């Protein structure tokens, strides 16, 4: 039987901000609550409007998992469109209950098989994995090959990011080792990363933005010396001045011009805050 494969992800993936021409990528939108206002990420609030509110209002937004009902409707639509398989790439289970919730419906739609991925990622990292999966499908690779390479990417990336403070992450319960940072988090520029389970953890407490960005770039340079081929990336929140300074310095000091970049989607900005920036890489060849 010839397989027709659809790629499904959610709006945390930054896929909205990563140009492509694949017609088999489908996005489930995540809800955002901003005070008394309810939004659907990317539909009823744009990323620019979101960050403008985040900058000017003393409100910490919250997010919710994608609707399981809408997800099932998409599965049914894809089956009716002739797809035999769905590879679903949700936000990391280390920072959201989405992955676990999807298990309850993955086998609920007859006539199509859903393959649920433990991505251990979000934002541009997840977006890149999704784009690579779509590329492999277009190239005619087998379902098993697509899944195998996706799992490889999920386990072979590194990302470092800085936030202005930990208020958003701690209030929303998204920092796995928060206890080690509480007490001084308002006076530092925390350095964060993802652990092997896709959880966000704090690694360093640095006093100034300049020292924090320097740390990120130095860590990137030192880490990547051992690899023959990588795909580097940037990501950033609403603070465009921080983004421009950080990206320019990183490009100059690394001597690389192959960074891909994308803004942090609103559903991630809700947990990171307005002033945040990240640098990282995928290991493509050891």
Tokens of 233: 């990336």
Q: Return mean pLDDT, the chain.
A: 92
Q: pLDDT digit string (tens) for 133-192?
A: 999 999 999 999 999 999 999 999 999 999 886 677 766 555 555 445 554 455 678 888
Q: How many residues does the chain have?
A: 286
Does residue 70 or residue 285 have the better pLDDT?
70
pTM of the complete model: 0.94
Confidence of residue 281 (pLDDT cuts 50, 70, 90): very high
Residue 208's CB is within 10 A of a number of other CB atoms, namely 10
- Give Cα 278 distance to the centre of its chain: 11
Query: So what's the pLDDT on residue 183?
Result: 44
Question: What are the backbone angles phi and psi of residue 193, rounded to the nearest 5°?
Answer: -155, 180
Percent of the chain with pLDDT over 70: 92
pLDDT of residue 201: 85
The CA distance from 152 to 110, in Å, is 29
pLDDT tens digit string along 192-238?
899 999 988 888 888 888 999 999 999 999 999 999 999 999 999 99
Q: Average pLDDT in the 24-48 region?
A: 96
Quick one: which of 66, 171, 156, 148 has its CA closest to 120?
Answer: 156
- Phi–psi pair at 256, nearest 5 degrees: -105, 145
């Amino acid at each position: 039987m010839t397989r027709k494969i659809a790629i499904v992800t959610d709006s945390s993936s930054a896929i909205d901000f990563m140009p492509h021409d694949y017609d088999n990528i489908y996005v489930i939108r995540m809800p955002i609550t901003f005070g008394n206002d309810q939004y659907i990420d990317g539909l009823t609030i744009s990323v620019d409007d979101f960050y403008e509110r985040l900058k000017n209002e003393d409100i910490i937004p919250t997010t919710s998992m994608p609707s399981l009902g809408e997800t099932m409707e998409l599965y049914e639509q894809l089956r009716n469109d002739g797809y035999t398989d769905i590879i679903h790439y949700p936000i990391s289970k280390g920072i959201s209950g989405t992955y676990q919730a999807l298990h309850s419906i993955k086998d609920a739609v007859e006539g199509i098989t859903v393959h649920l991925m433990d991505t251990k990622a979000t934002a541009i990292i997840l977006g890149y994995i999704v784009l690579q999966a779509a590329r492999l499908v277009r190239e005619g690779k087998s379902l098993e090959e697509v899944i195998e390479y996706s799992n490889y990417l999920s386990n072979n990336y590194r990302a470092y990011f800085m936030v202005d403070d930990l208020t958003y992450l701690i209030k929303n319960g998204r920092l796995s080792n928060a206890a080690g940072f509480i007490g001084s988090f308002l006076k530092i520029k925390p350095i964060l990363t993802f652990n092997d389970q896709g959880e966000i953890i704090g690694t360093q407490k640095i006093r100034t933005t300049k020292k924090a960005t320097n740390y990120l770039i130095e860590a990137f340079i030192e880490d990547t010396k051992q690899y023959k081929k990588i795909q580097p990336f940037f990501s950033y929140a609403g603070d465009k001045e921080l983004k421009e300074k950080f990206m320019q310095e990183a490009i100059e000091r690394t001597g690389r011009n192959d960074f891909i970049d994308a803004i942090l989607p609103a559903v991630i900005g809700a947990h990171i805050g307005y002033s945040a920036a990240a640098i990282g890489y995928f290991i493509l060849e050891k």
